Amino acid sequence: MSQPKIPTYILSGFLGSGKTTVLLKMLSDFKSRGLKPGIVLNELGQVNVEGHMFKGEKMLEMLDGCICCTIQDDLREELQFFLQEENAVDVLLIEGTGVANPKEILEALTDPRLRDGFETQSIISLADASKFLEYQSIFSSSREIREMLNEQITSATLILLNKMDLVNEKTKDKIYKKLRKQLKAEVEILETVYGEVELDELLKKRMSTVAVSLSKGTGNAGHSHHEHEDHHHHEHPFKAFKIEDFPAVERIRFEKWLKKLPESVLRGKGMVSLASPSGLYQFQFASKEVEMERMEDQDCRTCLILIGYNMPIEEIRVSFQQEVLQTVSI
């Protein structure tokens, strides 16, 4: 008898919108229901600074995963892992990078070799309410980015409008107007703070309602092989760069530096050693906010990853040396 298909959910959304926050919450909700989840994480940059959050999970990491065809091929290979009996899971969550087009992931899942193993239930897209309007205007001149942002929204079967704690009613109204123009009427929008939402809402099978729009015109999730080839030929405009193995920093100085980074820096994350209170902390920088959490494992290397669009990398590196480390060279 053939195995039942693994219900699969794709978590999409731009850099820092809250995908990992939702993923972690879903994992803990699954566990309290006695379900065994599997996860696939894509990261930009060669280190996954968040790996320690998923200790003990059946997890596949795809680092430096900048979307497109390479990630699709890798994903196809990696997904075979969950089809082996010893790695069986009850449900699978796939988190794309913040610059991934969820259709690319969907397409990998419809590969004939995987179609019998996985059944995509929903594409859940996070939108950062505090940055939604700003991003639309910052990126208005780049067709490629505009299209990617648009795809993240229009291919969703459910939108989580997250970070609602950071916006007022007026902004909210403007976002709704834009979203409603982009979305099909049946696509639900749920407002969230720290991705708080009933698990049952997330688990609803919503895929069939948008199946038509996803396969529009091409019969393969809206993406032709010709388009794939194109992707290989030009570099993606988003870049990640990292600084590693730096000494302890002053928390206030470091936070101040992060907050005044150029607008082209869209996201930061990593591990820093603080001078006081001393110890190794994980930090997140998104929507101009900084969060720090002391790490259980105090034995990691320090690492700072910045992700952005046309970032003045050298200028940033020098300002890190001068303003945070207060040295001349790292």
Ligand X SMILES: Nc1nc2c(ncn2[C@@H]2O[C@H](COP(=O)(O)OP(=O)(O)OP(=O)(O)O)[C@@H](O)[C@H]2O)c(=O)[nH]1
- Residues 78, 274: contact at Cβ < 8 Å? no
- Which of 166/189 has CB closer to ligand X? 166
Q: Does 60 bind ligand X (CB under 6 A)?
A: no
Query: What character string, x for contact with ligand X (CB under 6 A) and - otherwise, covers 137-176?
Result: -------------------------xx-xx----------
Residues 6 or more apart whose Cβ sits within 8 Å of residue 33: 199
Residue number of the CB closest to ligand X reads 284
In order, the DSSP letters of 26-66 are HHHHHHHTT--EEEEEE-SSS--TTGGGGTTSEEEEETT--
Pick from 6, 15, 124, 325 the residue near ligand X by CB under 6 A.
15
Pick from 65, 268, 284, 320 the residue near ligand X by CB under 6 A.
284
The residue behind tokens 């298909």 is 5
To 5 degrees, how large is the angle CA 322–CA 325–CA 330?
A: 85
- Which of 40/114 has CB closer to ligand X? 40
- Residues 145, 234: contact at Cβ < 8 Å? no
| Residue 305 to residue 317: CA distance in whole angstroms | 11
Scanning 86-94, 176-184, 241-249, 284-292 for contacts with ligand X by CB under 6 A, the matching segment is 284-292
Q: Does 83 bind ligand X (CB under 6 A)?
A: no
- Which of 131/206 has CB closer to ligand X? 131
> Nearest approach, Cβ of 70 to ligand X (angstroms)?
18
> β-strands 188-191, 158-162: how paired?
parallel
Interface of this chain with ligand X, residues 260 to 279, rule: CB under 6 A:
267
Q: Does 28 bind ligand X (CB under 6 A)?
A: no
Q: Which residues bind ligand X (CB under 6 A)?
A: 13, 15-21, 98, 126, 162-163, 165-166, 193-195, 267, 284, 286, 289, 291
